[in-house]
Structures are given as C-alpha cells and as structure tokens.
Structure 1
Amino acid sequence: MLSRAGEVIVNTASRYVAPGRSTNLFNQAVAGLTRLGIGVWGSRILAVRGRVSGEWRTVPVNLLTHDGERYLVAPRGHTQWVRNLRAAGGGELRLGRRAESFTATELGDDEKPAVLRAYLRRWKFEVGVFFAGVDADASDAELRRIAPGYPVFRLSSR
C-alpha cells in the first residue's frame, strides 16, 4: 500500500485478490455446469498454456460481448490466468465439448472504462465485491483510476 497526503491507496498495478473458499466452491459449480455445456450467464472455461509448465490450465470466466467485440475481464486483478494469457497470447474458450481458439490483446488503461462499465452492468451481482464500491454508474475518471488493477483482454478468433 502507498500513502499520498494521508490517503491510503492500493498499488493497482499488482492488485490481486486471492479466492476464498466460497469463491472456489462457486467456481467449481460454474465450471462443472460449463463443462456439461451449460453456460451460466455467459460463462466459459478459459484454457491457456501455463507460462512455466506449458500444460493447459483452466478456470471459469465470464465472457463479455460489448459493442460487437468479446472481452475477458479479471475482476480479481493480476491472477495466474492473466499472467499465463499474457505469456501465451491466446488460448481456448470451452463450453461443453466445443472449444474455440482465440488470440488475446490486452487493453491499455485508457481503453478500459467502457468495458469495465459494461462488465459491471452484466455481472455486478457476482463480481461487485471485487470492485470496492465502484459500480456501472461510476464516472469515466473513476473507472480510469481503478483500471490498472483490472486486466482486460479483447479476443479475436484464430
């Protein structure tokens, strides 16, 4: 944590919120349904090669479609899947037996406010706790302020 004029702020460039037990249970349930081909609110299984092991790593994610583009947002910050996706440059989105390969381009912080707002409109009930009081009605300036702590990737089909 950094201090500025008596204000405590979080170093958002390295922000990471570890999953708790309830998050792990929820993720397992969503992942199980998604593997069966039932997308819960647009859920998919993200499969990406590990940056060290080279083995496939999987995690349930919320796929966002906004203005005709598809995005992955990391509400818990700079997670292992984010680091792996940066290194691999792409992966697969799985729903049941279907797997779609994609390439990923990480957005700059100035590009994130509209995507973060759309993400919060769609999934605030699920991920709002990770946004510390910021919601879809926040100003562009407020969303830009928190943007470094929330990696966002634009997906393109391979």
Structure 2
Amino acid sequence: MSAQPADPNSPTPAAAHVMKPGWLTVNVFNRAVAWMTRRGISVWGSRVLAVRGRKSGEWRRTPVNLLTVDGVRYLVAPRGHVQWTHNMRAAGGGQLILGKHVQDFTAVEVADDDKPALLRAYLKRWKAEVGVFFGGVGPDSSDDELRAVAPKHPVFLVTTTGPTTPAA
C-alpha cells in the first residue's frame, strides 16, 4: 500500500465530516476503556494516543483502537476528521501509551484508494463499537462502497521510532 506524507496545509475534501459520539460513548465507554488502557489493560488493541496540539504544542490524549494488518499498525479515525487527526497531520507522529509503557511513532496518512482493505479489517474488529459512524458500510461491503466512505475516515500508517519506554 502506498502512503502519502502528512501535509498539515493540504485541504481535506471531507474535512467537514465529523461524527459526534453519543453521551453513552463519551461518558461511559470511552472513559472505561481509557481508564483500563491507562492501567495497562488493552481492550481489543486500545491505546491512549498522545499527539501535540497543532496550535498549542501541548500534548493531547485520546483513546484509540490500534489496528494491526499483516504485522503493520494503523490508526483509523472512525468519527472522521477530528482534532487528533488534524494534530497528527501537523505533528507527523506522537506516542501510543498502554499503562506505563510509551511507544514513540511517526505517522503517514494512507491514500484513499489504499483504505478499503484497512477499513474492512477495522470494521470486522470494531463494527459494534464504531459501525454507526460508517453510514451503513460494513466489513462485508464492496471495495467500491468502502472507497466511497474512505475520504471521510483518515487512516495513518504507524511506524515506531524506538523502544517502548516507561512513562514518566
């Protein structure tokens, strides 16, 4: 799969597409997963993503699902072009945190035409959690259907840049 370098100044055709999570997701599910992940318990690949804010330079944290396909790791934004995706484009990487272990990484955005297999794998694993954000497209959808929603869901190829270190 080819990847495009993250360009913080490039316009995103689906930048206006952001799906807001519901109250239950924000106040119960995300908090529970983040709490367990901070304590070193991964829930189906969960990590806490830390990425520097593109304006403030401050570390911003959010729970994410780390997708692994054929030994390669990806971050998928099921809710669309949200703050962490904008920050990722600007920063070009960040940290994945699981409990006391921190893994630095670089990120390269994946081209829309290369996303169908990745979105399919993501939906196979987490459709129950995130399927509502894909407008009826699921793991059994055709490549054309997945390609049609691809611009709405940023995907980043994650490459680790050093050993996992204990958090400070």
- TM-score, normalization by structure 2: 0.86
Which SS does the other structure have where 1:93 is aligned? Answer: strand
Counterpart of 2:115 in 1: which secondary structure? helix
Cross-structure match for 1:132: 135
Deviation string 1:6-47 (CA, Å, 9 cap, x unpaired) is: xxxxx7443101222112121111101100000111100000
1:146 and 2:149 matched: yes
* 8 Å CA contact retained: 1:44, 1:60: yes
* 1:111 match: 114
Aligned residue among 23, 26, 46 for 2:25: 23
Structure 1 residue runs of 5 or longer lacking an equivalent are 1-10
1:41-56 to 2 correspondences below 5 Å = 41-56=44-59
**Which of 86, 90, 93 pairs up with 1:90?**
93
Specify whether residues 13 and 145 from structure 1 end up closer, same or farther in structure 2 by C-alpha distance, changes over 3 A only: farther
* Aligned-partner Cα distance in 2 for 1:28–1:157: 26
Q: 2:16 aligns with which of 14, 17, 20?
A: 14
Kept in 2, the 8 Å contact 1:62–1:73? The answer is yes
Cα RMSD over matched residues?
A: 1.0
Instruction: Find runs of 4+ consecutive structure 1 residues off by over 4 angstroms.
Output: none
**What's 2:5 paired with?**
none
* Aligned-partner Cα distance in 2 for 1:142–1:21: 29
2:75 to 43, 68, 72: 72
Provide structure 2 residue ranges, at least 5 long, that are not aligned to the other structure.
1-12, 162-168
Q: What is the TM-score when the length of structure 1 is the normalising length?
A: 0.91
Q: Percent identity?
A: 64
Structure number with higher helix proportion: 1
Aligned: 1:32 with 2:31: no
